Each structure stands twice: as C-alpha cells, then as structure tokens.
Amino acid sequence: MDTIPPRKGEELDREAVVAWLAGRLPGSEGPLEISQFGGGHANLTYCLRFGAGADAVEYVLRRPPLGPVAPGSHDMSREYRALSALWQAFPYAPRAFLFCEDEAVIGAPFLVMERRHGVVVRNPIPECFGGGSDEVANRKLSCVVIDVLAELHAVDPAPIGLDTLGRHPEQFLERQVRGWSDRWERSRVDPVPIADEVAGWLRDNLPKSGQPTLLHNDWRLDNMSVAEDDPGRCVAVYDWDMCTLGDPLCDVGTLLSQWAGPGDTGAAFAPMPSMVSGFMTRDEAAARYAEKSGRSLEGFAYYLVFGTFKMAVVLQQIFLRYHRGQTKDERFASMGDAAAQLFGIAADRRP
C-alpha cells in the first residue's frame, strides 16, 4: 500500500510517539519517519518506519478519526483485542502488539500492529493485475474476497479467547438494526424521508439469525490486500475495530451491498471493480459463499437491504464530520448527497 505525507491536520506528534514506544517494540530505537496510508475514509492509519535502508523496521499505527465518533465505532481497544489473538487462527489478520488508551499521548487511543505488504484493490483494478482487462485476475479477485470471508466464519473463537468478544451474539442483528437507525438519527443534517422508511422496514421485518460466528463487520475488497504476484492470494485483512460475534450473513450483506452489476442502480457507489469482465456477479458470489460456508442464504434480501442502509449511514457520518468542520478532507464534501442516494437504493432492494 502506498503512503503519503500526513494530511494537514492529521499529523502525529512524532516526539510523543517516540517517547511512548521507547523500549516497547523491537527495532524502535532508530530514527522515526511517519507517513500516512492515504486510502480509507474513517480511522487514520500511519506507517512508522524506524531506521533506513535494508535494516529499517516498520509498524502500523491506527487511531480513530478526528472529532466525535459514533458510540461503538472506531473502537481501538476492540480492534486490539481481536488482532492480538486472531492471528493465531486466521493467518490473514495482522498481529497487534501494543495498545495505548492514554489520549494525552496523541489525542486519541491507538494501537500498533505489524506491517503487511500487499496490493489493496479499489476501483479501478491496478495495472499489475491487468487494469481490468485480465479476466482470470478479475475472477480471482472476486473469489478471494468470498473465500476468505467463509474462512473467517469457520474460525472457532473459543481456543483463542475471543468467544466473549460480543455480548448476546444471538441478539446481534436486532441490536445492529437499532444501533444503525440511531446513528442515522444522530448524523442527519437534512430530512431524508426514505431513510426513515427503510429504518422502519428493517425493524418490522427482522429475521431469525442462524448460529453466531466471528464477524469482521466491514468486509469488503478494499479492506484486504492481496499478493503482488497473485490476486487470488490474500495477504492481510484490515479494519477490525467492529469485530464481534453475531449473525454471519451481516458480513455477507455488507459485502454484497457494494457488489454492483450491469444495470445496478448502486453501481456509482460501489468501491469494488465488480463490473469488469470475469468478476463474479452478485448472485454468483452469494452462491459461492453458500457453497464454501455450507450456509443457507434463504431470506438474504433482508441482509442486502441492511448492508446498503449501513453503508449510507457510514457516508452520512463522514459527511457530518465534514459539515461540522471536524475534517478538511474535500473528498467528504459530496457524501451527504451520496448517502441520500444510497438510502434510496436500499429502499429499492426490499423484496
């Protein structure tokens, strides 16, 4: 993943980081260079490079976004708990080494974890994988994001101490629907009646959940990196701050809500290059997950609507931070309009 100089207003206090890390991490004695990973729209992620040349040692620091955050989101303590254990059973999870809850150090809690090197695929597909013209590479990308999700849902959390990560996992979906509806209420800037309508539909049509599993809770292709020489081999999965136990179809719904196809009204908002030749269709992806996981997807339309609603609320929350002047990132200026359109797409996806 490429890094950039820290964006204005998002710089870290280098001296404070050096002082806090002193003696805590192997290789952290050398001069520190801090750069920022430019992708993503929420948590701020930095590369800590100690020393220079072949002897340099790199780690990754993650902290919440600037300004107030929604309750339960951007939880660095939860992410640390997950990543300090999950690597033992799920090799795609980078190992977390340290967690700092003292906000006086850099202004927010943060964690430090291992650096993994790979290619993060957004839209369009990078040239190293054919730029979208290699059907074999495209197919591999669409398969790996499904197959690794099925692997995560097969992990037994008990042996690695994550069986108590979520409270009452059987009630997870109900809490999520209520929680994301509340987040919409707290983040609204202008009235969006269709958003209120969809929130009501989700509450009134809640399905019965199956057996709980570990959840990533924001599963998508650009939260994953793949090997530079093989788009079908996962190197790492990132952004575990909402990891918990609950209904596995919520992960599938989050992913497939962003999986656009020909004629799909949500294509303009899809972060994945799912329209290229060779990439599985949404229906093919759902069928592959069912095959790999052994789970039935009966009633899956509900989860697709909920996943779309969630993505709309995420955009609205980001826009609210921009609207309040809590971030100056101009990428966020149009997200209020984008959220309103996604709420409409969620409504259209109701069965």
Tell whether 219 and 73 lie within a shared domain: no
In a domain, 120, yes or no: no
pLDDT for residue 71: 54
pLDDT digits (tens, 9 = 90+) for 207-240: 999 999 999 999 999 999 999 999 999 999 999 9
Listed residues 56, 80, 114: the one ending a domain: 114
Query: Per the structure, how many domains does the chain have?
Result: 2
Which amino acid is present at 185? E
DSSP percent split of the chain into helix, strand, coil, nearest 5 = 40, 15, 45
Does the pLDDT of residue 35 top 70, yes or no?
yes
Q: Is residue 122, in this structure, part of any structural domain at all? A: no
Domain range for 225 is 134-348
Q: Which of residues 114, 143, 170 is at a domain's end?
A: 114
Q: In this structure, are 99 and 237 located in the same domain?
A: no
Q: Is the pLDDT of residue 69 over 80?
A: no
On whether both 160 and 250 belong to a single domain, the answer is: yes
Pair 162, 246 in one domain:
yes
Q: Give a yes or no: residue 128 inside a domain.
A: no
306 with 237, same domain: the answer is yes
Q: Which of the four pLDDT bands, split at 50, 70 and 90, describes residue 38? A: confident
- Asked whether the predicted pLDDT for residue 73 surpasses 60, the reply is no
Q: Is residue 56 in a domain?
A: yes
Among 74-78, 127-131, 179-183, the minimum mean pLDDT is found in 74-78
Q: What local confidence, expressed as pLDDT, does residue 42 receive?
A: 72
Provide the β-strand partners of residue 225.
Answer: 120, 236
Clarify whether residues 162 and 254 are in a common domain: yes
Q: Is residue 197 part of a domain?
A: yes
CATH number for 83? 3.30.200.20
Mean pLDDT calculated for residue range 18-38: 93
Q: Round to whole Å and give the CA distance between 151 and 88.
A: 13
Whether residue 327 is predicted with pLDDT greater than 90 in this model: the reply is no
The predicted model gives 145-167 an average pLDDT of: 96
Distance CA 8, CA 20 (A): 23
256, 140: one domain: yes
Q: Is residue 245 within 8 Å of residue 215, measured between CB atoms?
A: yes
Out of 144-153, 228-237, 260-269, 281-290, which region has the weakest mean confidence (pLDDT)?
Answer: 260-269
What percent of the chain lies above the pLDDT cut of 90?
A: 78
